[in-house]
Amino acid sequence: RAFLSRSADSSVCALRRGPPSMATVRCLCGGTGLRFHKPAVMRLECGCRDCRQAREYVASLGDPRSPSALSNIAYFPNDLSILDGKASFRRTLLREGGRSTRLMTCCCHSILAVDHPNYGGNVVLVPTQTCAVDADLPKVAARVYMKDWEPHRDGPPPDTDVPVIRGDEPTEEKNRKAEVYRWAFRQTVPQPREGTSLQDLFDAVGPVEVLGLDEGHRFDNPPAS
């Protein structure tokens, strides 16, 4: 079992190494990362404006820019440890009222993990384009929130053979389609955990930092030709 401790600097967390991992997620400079103690349960492609804005924000800070406006996201059971003895993190929201809380590294601005109330504390979202993932990932189950896709900037979305969910369908239709991924949010984590939860890690990091980004704002992404 891993043990989390809080240092005098609330952005620095110390965690003793746990048992060998089934998956690791490292920041892009290699300085720190997370170990997930159970394999990924689901992978999606997401067209939502918030996933896209978060990736463009960290690219504006110096991270590599992904060539695709589609976000590739994987979901792991909420049982994790910090890979290295000390790591410096930020706990961020894109804006006041935002619902997704992101774990960012201070060293290179990588986004390692994301929590949302809809996950019920059961799973953790890992945005695979803003970190280095060493894990066996399942096939993409669906492409979601395509109502936010901007063809005038990003061109047509790539062809796909997975279900496409716009997110603005009539409620009954949307709920029926969304079950292709929502089932994962109901999978409870076996107790006791081998490591800790993302929520406990957030508590150790300290208060949330609100970035103050306007909803839908793009970061110098040129329109598609």
Q: Are residues 43 and 72 in contact, defined by beta-carbon separation less than 8 angstroms?
A: yes
Could you give the count of Cα atoms lying within 13 Å of 12 in the half-sphere of its Cβ? 5
Please report the pLDDT score of residue 122 as a whole number.
98
Please report the pLDDT score of residue 107 as a whole number.
92
Cα angle for residues 28, 220, 106 (degrees, 5° grid) = 30
Please report the pLDDT score of residue 85 as a whole number.
54
DSSP 15: E
CA distance 89 to 186: 28
Please report the pLDDT score of residue 14 as a whole number.
35
HEC profile for 48-112? CHHHHHHHHHHHHCCCCCCCCCCEEEEEEECCEEECCCEEEEEEEECCCCCCCEEEEECCCCCEE
Cα angle for residues 26, 30, 33 (degrees, 5° grid) = 30
Please report the pLDDT score of residue 223 as a whole number.
45
Please report the pLDDT score of residue 8 as a whole number.
30
Please report the pLDDT score of residue 5 as a whole number.
33
Tokens in use for 134? 């060493």
Q: What is the pTM of this model?
A: 0.88
CA nearest neighbour of 174 among 160, 164, 186: 164
DSSP string of 169-214? S-HHHHHHHHHHHHGGGG-PPPSS-SSB-HHHHHHHH-SPEE--PP
DSSP 9: S
Please report the pLDDT score of residue 64 as a whole number.
79
CA distance 208 to 222: 31
Q: What are phi and psi of 51, to 5 degrees?
A: -60, -45
pLDDT by residue for the chain (225 residues), tens only, comes to 333 333 333 333 333 344 444 799 999 999 999 999 999 999 999 999 999 999 999 999 988 788 889 999 999 999 999 997 567 999 999 999 999 999 999 999 999 999 999 999 999 999 999 999 999 999 999 999 999 999 999 999 999 999 999 999 999 999 999 999 999 999 999 999 999 999 999 999 999 999 999 999 999 754 444
Please report the pLDDT score of residue 2 as a whole number.
32
